[in-house]
Amino acid sequence: MNELEDKEIQERIKAKGDLPRHIAIIMDGNGRWAKMRGLERIEGHRAGRESVRDVVRACGELGIEVLTLYAFSVENWRRPRREVWALMRLLRDTLYEEVDEFNRNNVKLMAIGRLEGLPKASREALFWAMERTKDNTGLVLNLALNYGGRVEIVDAVRRILEKGYRPEEVDEKVISAHLYTAGLPDPDLLIRTSGELRVSNFLLWQMAYTEIWVTDVLWPDFRRQHLYQAIEAYQRRERRFGMTSEQLRGEDGGAR
């Protein structure tokens, strides 16, 4: 896609309105991408970095508020040691390398997950990069690291109990406010690459009304044109939040 085509599609998406405020992505298929080329799995993750760069830039240009990327799950520790450590090193190096680019593009880095469980060097890089980008006001790039949707809910319940809430005081708002994502809007659009039809323990509470878009494209091949396809598909959908189409269009005459 040349620059002119890119700008044209971006203008079309912006003109249509109703942009997703928050996009979440399950970046899947790095291993398969590498295997197909006779490479080690880590080469797939390394190539996936270029997809991250392109998608972050495109989301910033479109004015998306939050992009959450599922970079490492609590289950991913079960992978071969070699791959886990290579991923952690890749994360650390990427954070140090990308901070200037984040600052040039007004990107604020955040992270969700049991961050205290990350290896020291990766954790330090993460907190260093978050500190360096904290005053940026554009896209929030939210990395899910050592993240699991169920442990997130467990951690929220623990904090609520520690604070001494009474049962009748606990409602959906209180739970949302104690999740790692407190203060962020729920995702409007979930993108999953490599064709799998699962949510894989990602943002379980927050995805109650999220629209899901799945592509067979493997993550290292994913580029902004695929992101645009997902957003345009989202813009064509009708989000009903449990209501009828007539209610949404105001045609039900107030009937209950």
Judged by CB, which is closer to ligand FPP: 9, or 113?
A: 113
Can you tell me the distance from the alpha carbon of 148 to that of 72, in angstroms, rounded to the nearest whole number? 9
Instruction: Decide if residue 9 touches ligand FPP (CB under 6 A).
Output: no
Can you tell me the distance from the alpha carbon of 136 to that of 139, in angstroms, rounded to the nearest whole number? 8
Residue from 124, 65, 113, 117 nearest 91 by CA: 124
Burial of residue 66, with CB atoms counted within 10 A of its CB: 0-12 exposed, 13-18 middle, 19 or more buried = buried
Find the binder of ligand FPP among 29, 148, 149, 187 (CB under 6 A): 29
C-alpha torsion sign, points 117, 119, 122, 127: positive
Find the binder of ligand FPP among 19, 23, 28, 99 (CB under 6 A): 28
Instruction: Decide if residue 71 touches ligand FPP (CB under 6 A).
Output: yes
Choosing from 6, 54, 76, 201, the catalytic residue is 76
Catalytic residue check, 76: yes
Instruction: Decide if residue 45 touches ligand FPP (CB under 6 A).
Output: yes
Find the binder of ligand FPP among 74, 91, 118, 126 (CB under 6 A): 91
Name residues whose C-beta falls within 8 Å of residue 75's C-beta, 6 or more positions apart in sequence. Answer: 148, 201
Judged by CB, which is closer to ligand FPP: 178, or 219?
A: 219
C-alpha torsion sign, points 215, 66, 143, 165: negative
Site for ligand FPP in 48-67 (CB under 6 A): 48-49, 52
Task: Report the nearest approach of ligand FPP to the CB of residue 128 (Å).
Answer: 14
* Distance set, CA 225 to CA 15, 59, 221 (Å): 17, 12, 11
The residues that touch ligand FPP, with contacts defined as CB under 6 A, are 27-32, 45, 48-49, 52, 69, 71, 76, 90-91, 94, 143, 219
Residues designated as active site: 28, 76
